[in-house]
Amino acid sequence: MRTLVIDHPLVAHKLTRLRREETSSATFRLLAEELVTLLAYEATHGLRVQPVTIQTPVAETQGVEMADPRPIVVPILRAGLGMLNGMMKLMPTAEVGFLGMVRDETSLLATTYADRLPHDLHDRQVFVLDPMLATGGTLVAAIDLLLTRGARDVTAICLLAAPEGLAHMEEEFAGRDAVVTVVTAALDERLNEKGYIVPGLGDAGDRLYGVV
């Protein structure tokens, strides 16, 4: 498994504003979107492209275009939805699949309640959007499902990660027949007794959409 912690002043600036408890939901949504676009730029270094011949106003030349089959972006509901626009700005022709996962706040175990993904993901590059890599339970369950459907190149984009979550991912995906990458804006200190990332930013879903 590969982990990329993006070291960039704009990423750090936007993340700091996102963390502030006084940041309103409206501003939080905007910042999350901008931050994801920056992370997506780094996360798509390995995007598959194919050669194409084009005509400029001056001459014929060679370029590239996104290869087929197109990549698929999978936001994990609910909080991953807040990352979708930022990702699609960069890859407007990607497909989007949805995965609904909920974490039991006592056992911290993740269960799937919605699955709108293709049954066959062979040859598809998959970008999973989940803002908080905390225990790793949700992301491990989500990526396991993607690998079961044939995906072999999965990149998870997370606003924040905890060392415990990354260790869990390493344990699950090291030595597997797949390239799994985590791209994040910061690696925080730890999880607290409730499974929240410290210092973190609180509950990402609540901060994006309010407490339900």
Which residues of the shown chain bind ligand URA in the complex (CB under 6 A)? 79, 132, 134, 195-197, 200, 203-205
Token pair 């011949």: residue: 53
Nearer to ligand URA, 14 or 207 (CB): 207
In terms of Cβ atoms closer than 10 Å to its own Cβ (0-12, 13-18, 19+), residue 70 is middle
What's the min distance (Å) between Cβ of 85 and ligand URA? 19
Helices (H), the chain: 9-19, 25-43, 84-90, 137-148, 163-173, 204-209
Nearer to ligand URA, 75 or 205 (CB): 205
Nearer to ligand URA, 132 or 147 (CB): 132
Which tokens belong to 10?
């704009």
What's the min distance (Å) between Cβ of 208 and ligand URA? 9
What's the min distance (Å) between Cβ of 126 and ligand URA? 21
Nearer to ligand URA, 39 or 90 (CB): 39
Nearer to ligand URA, 134 or 146 (CB): 134
Residues 140, 51: Cα–Cα separation, whole Å: 35
Check if the beta carbon of residue 142 is closer than 8 Å to that of residue 115. no
**Minimal CA–CA distance to 161: which of 6, 24, 9?**
6
What's the min distance (Å) between Cβ of 76 and ligand URA? 11
